[in-house]
A and B are shown apart, each in its own frame.
Chain A
Amino acid sequence: MVDVPLGPAGLVPPAEVEDVELYHPHSWVTKYVFSQDAKVIAIQYSATALAVGLIALVLSWLMRLQLGFPGVFSFIDANAYYQFITMHGMMMVVYVLTALFLGGFGNYLIPLMVGARDMVFPYANMLSFWLYLLAVLVLVASFFAPGGPTGAGWTLYPPQAITSGTPGGQDWGIILMLVSLMIFIIGFTMGGLNYVVTVLQGRARGMTLMRMPLTVWGIFTASVMALLAFPALFVGAVMMLFDRVLGTSFFMPAMVEMGQQTDRNGGSPLLFQHLFWFFGHPEVYIVALPAFGIVSDLISTHARRNVFGYRMMVWAILAIGGLSFIVWAHHMYVSGMNPYFGFFFATTTLIIAVPTAIKVYNWVLTLWRGDIHLTVPMLFALAFIVTFLNGGLTGLFLGNVVVDVPLSDTMFVVAHFHMVMGVAPILVIFGAIYHWYPKVTGRMLNDTLGKLHFWVTFLGAYAIFFPMHYLGLIGMPRRYHDVADFAFIPASAHTLNAFITVVALIVGAVQLVFLFNLIWSLRHGREAGGNPWRATTLEWQTPTTPPPHGNWGNETPVVYRWAYDYSVPGAKEDFLPQNHPPIAPATAGAAP
């Protein structure tokens, strides 16, 4: 395990790093398979996560087929339906979004954006990916295990998660799920240490914290949060595994199962809920903060305008990161906990809306009178703002105890969290892929296909999830396999459900266009050059594109300015890269 040398005192990375000191790989295998280059690891992470995303997408199709056309597809019985929602939810949240934002974008962008040669612990970084892959394989294996995957819901609430009525509860399903999560968390910790310490210690000369692009701020804060939040899931998983395999009663209360008194005694299911949501709520922001950061950079670059209120954006990211550790119990209003707690958590929940709202205002103000280029990344960024706003507003409703109680476990909740943490981050991921693909491959993605992909996805996502608010309001429950015979659900709602399903199929299919674009453009895309978007951040200033191992050739960059010098008066071009030396000494002297 050779670290990237940081110079004798480690204070400031040296300008030149001798070639021998970089651990250059020597064979094809160490270069592309067991690679320690963060950029290769990033691509491995992203490809795996996208593959998992496809599986989760197909699962959502199957669920929608059942909801839209109940009874037509006989292989989707109640058990299968529960297994589909569980695997869909867990895959999307943990194995797709977290892995993509931190493992994928974090690995690719952090070293490049802060001007480092690589992550500080490349070996651990490599292990991180392989453990992630192992976790995915264990999870997918549960589809083939006797009894199939677990159907406990992605929240895995005990006691039902490990009792015989739930699919996978007394078979392999839940065990594989818990083991997979534990492996994922260990792997993530290795990666997370890298993301955090690289930002702390690996920055190029001149790259002060307040000169970092917001993308780095977002990913950095999210990594810190994930390092502290995932252990809660780990603890929950270990204890539940003990309950399931070794017969302990951490969570399992005394109860009657299949007419038999079990030999458990007074465990506390509520304890699991606390642990789960201590992880679960920060998790929402673990996927949201990188998205926030990336969107800020996309908007600024494609509107040729500096981010409005950079300092406030940084503070807001930090405030959200801190506050999100004290709001978890708003997921437990209906769990029977002390009502005074409900009040406390409702308050913190509303407080956290303040920094979030500030960010939305600042994005809008960044766009205000900007020179907006409606490129594909920009379209996705704009769509994100709208969608996030929408989801955030319904979140304010759900954050209040009296409103939440009747809406709990209805389609309204499904609509809310898909808007805010499903669709919104996915839109950012797409935008980011269109934005950085030229750096990764040297070629542009096809624009026409990109626009097609964007419009169908964006409008389609609204067509899918907007009506669900209404379905929730009239009382259509969530996690129900079959709602065909409920008197209070009118026939029109069933038509609506069928409509949603058809749109979901179309939106899913359009993702194939995106996949095709990714592969086709590798060979046939337009040559991009080093900096096609004329952006300021360091990753666009590498001497060659795609950047080689070690990123910077012989000399690491020196940073002279912040990340948002767009349309600076007096500059020759409408952007000044971060490593562009000061233009007018007079302006540099602003600080006395």
Chain B
Amino acid sequence: MSIIILFVGLLALIAGWWLARQRLAAKPWLEEGALGEFPGTEATALPAVKVGLGVFLAVVGALFALFLSAYSMRMGLEDWRSIPTPGLLWPNTGMLIMSSIALQWAKVSADRDDADVTKVCLVAGGVFAAGFLIGQLLVWRQLNASGYFLAANPANAFFYLITGLHGLHMLGGLVALERTIEKAWRGGATDQVRLSVDLCAMYWHFLLLIWLILFSLLTGWADQFVEICRQLLT
């Protein structure tokens, strides 16, 4: 459980930092007064959807942190047999990185009001992401073909479960991306397109980050870290 505790601790730090700027020590009973007389605690200038996405990502982060906590605890029991890293995961990772880069590019060009480049980058991002998902399915098939069945060992089960969950989140992102592409194509209000592209890019980077963490765990690089976490709890 130490991974989720670390994650919640991190969120608590962010929340604390934010709260520290909200004048929580003010004495509201003395502060009767007109607008703007008491500084600094109105809503932020960010659009609500962006804040919403930020909160949502915290929830998704908690979800994965919990899976990883479970992973690290289960790993310590005798029957655990790690699976060899499927080679295909490397190109898949590359695909996901490309996808993220494409969306970042889309974001930059949307900010520059360069509608054509934005459109191309959005589509490229979508294609790469789809490629990643197909690659992941291939990995599953390979593993299955070489006898690493879901129920055969907890290591396999975790691999399918966690990659599957990550894939589902990716899929959800693709739906949002598709709607953004539509919007960009219809050439609606640029403000709106810019915001949507921004949100997509944010989500993509986050899922990339999660994937990199998962990848390093699944390939065993992070084993030592996990070992430490487990020692803390037992």
Contacts and interface: CB of A to CB of B under 8 A. Distances in A.
B137 interface: no
A197 B52 contact: yes
Given A12-B42, A121-B52, A311-B25, A560 B32 contact: yes
A567 to B, nearest CB: 12
Interface in B12-39: 12, 15, 19, 22-35, 37-38
B189 interface: no
Given A10-B44, A558-B35, 16 more contacts: A3-B48, A6-B43, A10-B46, A11-B45, A192-B59, A205-B42, A208-B28, A224-B15, A231-B62, A249-B79, A250-B70, A265-B79, A267-B74, A560-B32, A561-B28, A581-B34
21 contacts: A10-B46, A120-B48, A121-B52, A197-B51, A200-B44, A202-B43, A203-B43, A205-B42, A208-B26, A227-B59, A228-B58, A242-B161, A250-B70, A268-B73, A271-B73, A306-B29, A341-B233, A561-B28, A564-B29, A581-B34, A588-B33
Contacts of B233: 341
Contacts of A249: 79, 151, 154, 157
Contacts of B222: none
B145 interface: no
A227 B32 contact: no
A6 B47 contact: yes
B8 interface: yes
Contact of B74 (A224, A232, A250): A250
B23 A315 contact: no
B24 A203 contact: no
B229 interface: no
Given A3-B49, A121-B52, A242-B157, A582 B33 contact: yes
Contacts of A231: 59, 62-63, 66
A221 to B, nearest CB: 10
A158 B63 CA distance: 21
Contacts of B59: 189, 192-193, 227-228, 231
Contacts of B26: 208, 210, 311
B47 A239 contact: no
Given A202-B48, A209-B41, A325 B55 contact: no
B56 interface: yes
Contacts of A565: 29, 32
A163 interface: no
B2 to A, nearest CB: 11
B98 interface: no
Contacts of A281: none
A518 to B, nearest CB: 34
A561 B8 CA distance: 34
Contacts of A558: 35
Given A10-B48, A231-B63, A239 B37 contact: no
Nearest to B32: A561
A210 B70 contact: no
B92 to A, nearest CB: 23
A235 interface: yes
A205 B23 contact: no
Given A205-B35, A232-B4, A311-B24, A268 B74 contact: yes
A260 interface: no
Contact of A315 (B1, B24, B51, B56): B24
Nearest to B30: A590
Contact of A250 (B5, B12, B157): B157
B216 to A, nearest CB: 20
Contacts of A202: 43, 48
A98 to B, nearest CB: 16
Given A210-B28, A238-B161, A268-B77, A248 B42 contact: no
Nearest to A558: B35
B58 A325 contact: no
Interface in B136-162: 150-151, 154, 157, 161
Contacts of B31: 210-211, 561-562, 590-591
Contacts of B23: 208-210
Contacts of A265: 79
Contacts of A247: 151
A73 B40 CA distance: 65
A446 B151 CA distance: 60
Interface in A251-273: 265-268, 271
A246 interface: yes
A274 B234 CA distance: 12
A310 B29 CA distance: 9
Given A197-B52, A200-B51, A267 B29 contact: no
A588 B29 CA distance: 10
Contact of B28 (A239, A274, A562): A562
A235 B41 CA distance: 36
Contacts of A239: 70, 161
Top 4 A-B pairs ranked by shortest CB distance?
Answer: A562-B28, A208-B41, A247-B151, A248-B157
A234 interface: yes
B211 interface: no
A170 interface: no
Contacts of B63: 231, 234-235
A315 B23 CA distance: 12
A208 B62 contact: no
Interface string A270-287: 010011001000000000
B231 to A, nearest CB: 11
Contacts of B41: 208-210
Interface in A1-33: 3, 6, 9-12
B32 A587 contact: yes
A209 B79 contact: no
B29 to A, nearest CB: 6
A384 B48 CA distance: 36
A119 B35 CA distance: 23
A511 interface: no
A326 interface: yes
Contact of A582 (B22, B34, B45, B77): B34
Contacts of B34: 206, 560, 581-582, 588
A201 interface: yes
Contact of B66 (A275, A310, A581): A275
Interface string B65-100: 011011001100111000000000000000000000
Contacts of A583: 32
A266 B79 contact: yes
A201 to B, nearest CB: 4
Nearest to A561: B32
A196 interface: yes
B213 interface: no
A555 to B, nearest CB: 14
A424 interface: no
B209 interface: no
B72 to A, nearest CB: 10
Contacts of A200: 43-44, 51
B150 A248 contact: yes
A335 interface: no
A141 B22 CA distance: 47
- Most A CB within 10 A of own CB, among B38, B43, B46: B43
A52 interface: no
Contact of B67 (A10, A201, A235, A246): A235
